[in-house]
Structure 1
């Protein structure tokens, strides 16, 4: 089991769009295992590769007893229904903010072996799929908020004990070849 440190708000890798995975090999499978192990240890709903400092389009999820991962996800929305409720992020530890998201989401992508996969999500699963795909696009969930909510969230982030006290937790990636970034 490999549990890696999670990058925190303020780390530039978290606002940089991730690169598409083109090689489905043992290195990618190791990354997916690391994502899954770290997610399990942190008891979160989802974890994207950029949160581990790896700039590639892959994430792991665990929502409502359903565990899995997606590589190169593409989202679609079968309707216009929305949900509004609390959302958190392992890169913004301990803070939750109401955020509007689509209620229903379809995510198409690949397994770590390159097999096509589709995940259909409603409620919390839909929120997770959108949140993690946003990470792959360099977008924070607070970017999805209206101005008033965003100001309140930024105030709470600046007041958080982990914010600005130390440099972001950084570890050299054990996956140096994926996407050519560390």
Structure 2
């Protein structure tokens, strides 16, 4: 596997393994910092903002503006102490998300960018649901139990437009599914029962966000 140079790593071009999946667990600290330090943290949009409730546009321009958006997303994610962030969570309706997420608590860290993601459907016989407490930066201070498949695979493009395949298990699988949902206008609240959704919104109303959030009408 060829070692990527620093410039390539900073602009999101990652090596791939023998199966064609990105290797996103190497040099995580340096790569995340390289993005974040070029960006400006932005307020997080919250549930009720129209940009969160409709499908985003495909990324078609893989140039400097996209790279700056990704840098801003990494900066915003760090400010909010998140493990994943979709572009519409900072008010930009484009299909791109970033992540800085461990496989499991204390496990390998994954850092990367995916544009125009699509979840790969697995046969029902190969899917295993895992219960877990889920939260969202766009639903601050709220959490709810939600079952999701314990393995996820996403196809898409990197910031240069190159095809990418990302896979993960456990907590990272949950992150990949959660962020892809965002870009198609779906929040985790939409997967909850009416009772659990109401409870999550109550938690949000009673809590105080620990990071800046965007006002909306």
TM class by smaller structure:
0.7 to 0.9
1:83-122 equivalence runs, <5 A? 83-122=130-169
TM-score (norm 2): 0.72
> Which residue is equivalent to 2:184?
137
C-alpha distance in 1 between matches for 2:198 and 2:83 = 25
> Which residue is equivalent to 2:8?
none
Tell me the alpha carbon deviations over residues 111-141 of structure 1, each in whole angstroms, 9 at most, x when there is no partner. 0110111110111111101111111011110
- Does residue 28 (structure 1) correspond to residue 28 (structure 2)? The answer is no
TM-score (norm 1): 0.85
Using CA pairs under 8 Å that are at least 6 residues apart, name the structure with larger relative contact order, 1 or 2: 1
1:4 is aligned, of 25, 29, 42, to 42
> Which residue is equivalent to 2:214?
169
C-alpha distance in 1 between matches for 2:71 and 2:205 = 32
Q: Whose strand fraction is larger, Structure 1's or Structure 2's?
A: 1
Q: Shift of residue 83 of structure 1?
A: 1.0
Q: Shift of residue 55 of structure 1?
A: 0.3
Instruction: Please say if residues 118 and 156 of structure 2, whose CA atoms lie closer than 8 Å, have aligned partners that are also in contact.
Output: yes
1:62-77 equivalence runs, <5 A? 62-64=100-102, 65-77=109-121
1:58 is aligned, of 96, 101, 107, to 96
The 4+ residue runs of structure 1 with deviation greater than 6 A are none
C-alpha distance in 2 between matches for 1:155 and 1:32 = 32
* Structure 2 gap segments, 5+ residues each: 1-36, 103-108
Output the aligned Cα RMSD: 1.7
Instruction: Please say if residues 99 and 142 of structure 1, whose CA atoms lie closer than 8 Å, have aligned partners that are also in contact.
Output: no
C-alpha distance in 2 between matches for 1:154 and 1:42 = 19
Of 76-85 and 125-134, more deviation after overlay is shown by 76-85
Decide which structure has the larger Cα Rg and report it.
2
> Which residue is equivalent to 2:128?
81
CA 1:154–1:170 in 2, change beyond 3 Å: closer, same or farther?
A: closer
CA 1:24–1:63 in 2, change beyond 3 Å: closer, same or farther?
A: same
